[in-house]
Amino acid sequence: MMSGYLITILITVLVYAILAHSLNIITGHAGQISLGHAAFFGIGAYTSALFYTQAGVSFWVAVPLAALVAGLVGIFLGIPCLRVRDDFLAITTMGIGFVVEAIFLYIPFFGGAMGIGGINLPHWFGREMTKSEYFFLILIVFLLLLLLDRRLGRSWIGLAWSSIREDEQAAEAMGVDLVRFKVLAFVLGSSIAGLAGGFYAHFLTFIMPQNFGFGQSIVILCMVVFGGIGTRWGPFLGAIILGVLPEISRPIMEYRTLVYGVLLLAMMRFQPGGLLGEESILPKMLRRFQSHSSEKG
């Protein structure tokens, strides 16, 4: 049995890993910038929490519903801003983040500043899941998502996304439907973030608007950038390092945001590919090591 503290960190890191992974679909694969990703995380958490506490829907239905609602909101907001100039999405999503947080905070239906409490861990086999079991449940979902990511990367959709990311005009000239594939990436990323929100709400048992503000969006973006935008394992690595870092170094808690800011800045300025990006230090060292050993062998 793992200790309660350890399991809490593990689940938090895993939720962040799913979030970073979902943002990576939008930003890494399709090259579209979202600065309000925490809003969809929040929409998922609130959807699941409200269905569970108000309508008495079980966890197993509420969490998929969270993904569905976040995805629908993603369609509704994504289509108008993805139709126009590419920079608009960054600005609009930033605004969406603020507005969604304000809606949770100001409209009594969403519990206001007090948030929503009384959300429980899921039940199975006639009893409540233990935290360790919950951890493995999320782990399985995460691995399935990674598998999906691999499948998508090798499909037409993945190819269309990379072509949009590399050169939008060329992609359009080759007949790639820009709006369709951008919206697809945005909706997929949003709904996976909603799924993460559902898992998070049932783990925390208590959610507040502040959990889903602009700062949270930046934390998620930071993880993706730090690990390596567009790589499969980079966001996961970023989530592990940046998720565990504040836990093992409590004294820097005060400067946590500063560290995040400087990390984002320095990483992009000096290692724009992130830790696992193609031109970065880590893969280069790995390749050098490999070529060395193959020369000897």
Partner 1 sequence: MLIQQLANGIAIGSVYALISLGLTMVYGILRILHVAHAGIYALGAYVGWFSFRLIGDFWLSLLIGMAGSALAGYFVQRYLYSPLLHLPRIAPLIVSIGLFIAMEETFRIIAGPHTLTYNARVGLGDLSIGNFQLTETQILILFITGLILVILWAILTRTRTGLAMRACAMDAETTSSFGVNVNAIIAINFLLGSAMAGAAGVLIGVYDNQVWPTMGSIPAYKSLAIVVLGGLGNIPGTVLASLVVGLAETFFIGVVAIPFPRDAVAFIAMILVLMFRPYGLLGKA
Chain residues binding partner 1 by CB under 8 A are: 27, 31, 33, 35, 80-81, 83-85, 87-88, 90-92, 94-95, 98-99, 102, 106, 165, 214, 218, 221, 225, 229, 255, 257-258, 260-269, 272
For partner 1, which is the closer residue by CB, 170 or 266? 266
We find the least distance from the C-beta atom of residue 38 to partner 1, in angstroms, to be: 14
Instruction: Select 101 or 149, whichever has its Cβ closest to partner 1.
Output: 101
Q: Which is nearer to partner 1, 66 or 101 (CB)?
A: 101
- Whole-number minimum distance, CB 188 to partner 1, in Å? 19
Instruction: Round to whole Å and give the CA distance between 23 and 196.
Output: 12
Of 106 and 289, which CB lies nearer to partner 1 in the complex structure?
106
Q: How far is the CB of 140 from partner 1 (least distance, A)?
A: 32
Q: Smallest gap, in angstroms, from Cβ of residue 161 to partner 1?
A: 14
CB closer to partner 1, 103 vs 139 = 103
CB of 6 to partner 1, least distance (A): 29
Nearer to partner 1, 83 or 287 (CB): 83
Quote the least distance from Cβ 264 to partner 1, whole Å: 3
Do 53 and 205 contact (CB within 8 A), yes or no? no
